[in-house]
Structure formats: structure tokens, C-alpha cells
């Protein structure tokens, strides 16, 4: 299925489709440190912010995933990239996140980034952790009880990192 997946830069016309993917994930509040009540306008302003490039993963004209790529820091930290990925909850388990992650690593290299960092991987998000590890990311930090999970209470968050 995913060999029909096209990953391309997002345009303003994709906003509604992006919102349909990110809204349930933001509302669930289990994986991202975003306000669960974030409005559509604020969420899209964040996801499509001018400080980042945003992509969508499309299959037969249907958008199934989206990610952004940005510098994790400015100044002396600007050679390290950061990304956030969200897959349509109805399309998980099909390798779309992996495809987006591989795409993002290529895009980051092409832009001259020399490493990629995920600042806050919720430790209960085991599928994501396994995926990042399979793509060469190491756990370089553990933030004790830094995430309040809506059903599991305070849990650790991980910092993950890989050179490019």
C-alpha cells in the first residue's frame, strides 16, 4: 500500500486535512506536549509555523500523515534538526510514520543538518520509541515524570538523538 505514498510539502490547501489528522492526537493528549484544548487556528499556526517546513504523506489523494522539520535550536545549536510526526489514527500500523521519518532524515541531510533530536518522546509511546531506535536514534536523556499522561499519570519522557 505505502508504495503509493507521496510525501510532499504541505500547502495552505492541506490545512483541513492536516487538522483532521492532528486534532484527535492533540485532543487525546497522550503523545505531544500541546494544550489538549488548542484551537484549530492555533494548532495549524503551530504545525505550519514559519519556523519550520511541513510535509504531508498522501495516498491516492488522501492525506494520511504529516510532519514538520525545523532547527531544534538557533545559534550554536542550529545544526541539529527536530521533527514532529502525526499519522492519521485510522491508518496506523501501515508504515506511514516510518516512511515520513525516513523522508525527514533525507530532507534534514539535504539541508545541511548534522544531527536530529527529539526533545520529548513520552515513555509510554512504545511504538514510537521502537521506530526511532530502528532508525538509528539513541535514548540520550530521560526526564523523570516530566509528562502527565491523561490515563497513566506522571511518566518519564525521553530525549532521542542521532547523527546524520
Binding site for a second copy (CB under 8 A): 29-30, 32-36, 73-80, 114-115, 117, 119-120, 122, 140-150, 157, 159, 161, 163
* Minimum distance, C-beta of residue 75 to a second copy, in the bound complex (Å): 5
| Complex with a second copy: residue 94 or 149, whichever CB lies closer | 149
| Complex with a second copy: residue 96 or 105, whichever CB lies closer | 105
Secondary structure string (H, E, C) spanning 49-106: CCCCEEEEEEECCEEEEEEEEEECCCHHHCCEEEEEEEECHHHCCCCHHHHHHHHHHH
* Minimum distance, C-beta of residue 26 to a second copy, in the bound complex (Å): 8
Q: What phi and psi values does residue 136 have, to the nearest 5 degrees?
A: 95, 5
| Complex with a second copy: residue 5 or 38, whichever CB lies closer | 38
* Minimum distance, C-beta of residue 65 to a second copy, in the bound complex (Å): 21
* Minimum distance, C-beta of residue 29 to a second copy, in the bound complex (Å): 6
Enumerate the β-bridge partners of residue 139.
160
Cα distance between residue 9 and residue 52, in whole Å = 11
Amino acid at each position: 500500500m505505502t508504495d503509493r505514498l507521496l510525501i510532499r510539502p504541505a500547502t495552505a490547501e492541506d490545512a483541513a486535512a492536516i487538522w483532521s489528522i492532528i486534532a484527535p492526537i492533540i485532543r487525546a493528549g497522550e503523545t505531544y506536549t500541546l494544550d489538549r484544548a488548542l484551537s484549530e487556528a492555533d494548532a495549524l499556526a503551530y504545525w505550519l509555523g514559519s519556523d519550520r517546513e511541513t510535509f504531508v504523506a498522501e495516498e491516492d489523494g488522501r492525506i494520511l500523515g504529516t510532519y514538520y522539520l525545523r532547527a531544534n535550536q538557533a545559534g550554536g545549536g542550529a545544526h541539529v534538526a527536530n521533527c514532529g510526526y502525526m499519522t492519521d489514527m485510522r491508518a496506523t500500523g501501515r508504515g506511514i510514520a516510518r516512511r515520513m521519518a525516513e523522508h525527514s532524515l533525507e530532507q534534514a541531510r539535504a539541508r545541511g543538518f548534522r544531527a536530529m533530536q527529539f526533545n520529548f518522546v513520552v515513555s509510554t509511546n512504545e511504538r514510537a520509541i521502537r521506530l526511532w531506535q530502528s532508525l538509528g536514534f539513541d535514548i540520550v536523556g530521560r526526564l523523570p515524570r516530566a509528562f502527565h499522561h491523561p490515563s497513566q499519570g506522571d511518566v518519564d519522557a525521553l530525549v532521542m538523538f542521532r547523527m546524520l
